[in-house]
Structure 1
Amino acid sequence: MADFTLSDEAGQDLKSIAQYTLDRFGYEQARKYRYELYETLMLLAKRPGIGAACEQIRTQTRRFSHLSHMIYYRPLPQGILVLRILHHSQDPLRHL
């Protein structure tokens, strides 16, 4: 079964996204956005090739846009390793 693993940085990204969304938009929106991110990560784990290759940023890395964020990940035999989940305004060269 395909699954995803979060790097320490991606785990922190998720916490920051959840807190920002909670503070700015409230509990329901934070819950909804977190669920949608989870569903997107599960989709990527099952079909890692749907993300765009971004070798110029980091080798063996792909990216996939989810609303306000870009998910950077590395395909693995049984799923994906999520490297970072960055807001579109963040520079991936600086954060990866």
Structure 2
Amino acid sequence: MRKIHTQALAKQDLKNIWLYSFSNWGEVQADRYFDELNAAFALIAENPELGFACDYIREGYRQFHINRHLVFYRVTAAKIHIVRVLHDSMNYTAQL
């Protein structure tokens, strides 16, 4: 299994997701959703081909849909690079 490297923008995305969830649904739900996202990262690390190739956005990028978010990532020999975690209603092509 490859190591997971969460890039700076993805870390900020996760923080913003947690804060939004906390303000709307409380700490328990925010923590639960954060755990679900991290479990998705682990699934991707176990099977990097799980997500869809999205070379039309950026060469080498893949995306995995979890609940209302898209995880954008790149695969290298040693790591899974989590690039962004964006809400599926966003104009994600402009964010990448």
What's the TM-score, normalizing by structure 1? 0.96
Q: CA RMSD in A?
A: 0.9
Aligned amino acid, residue 22 of structure 1: F
What's the TM-score, normalizing by structure 2? 0.96
SS at match of 1:57: coil
What is the count of residue pairs matched by the alignment?
96
Specify the alignment match of 2:73 in structure 1.
73
- Identity of counterpart residues, as a percentage? 34
SS at match of 2:39: helix
Deviation, structure 1 residue 2: 2.1
Structure 1: any 5+ residue segments left out of the alignment?
Answer: none
SS at match of 1:64: strand
Moved over 6 A (4+): none
Deviation by residue 1:9-32 (Cα, 9 ceiling, x = unmatched): 000000000000000000110010
Aligned amino acid, residue 74 of structure 2: R
Structure 2: any 5+ residue segments left out of the alignment?
Answer: none
Specify the alignment match of 2:30 in structure 1.
30
Deviation, structure 1 residue 79: 3.1
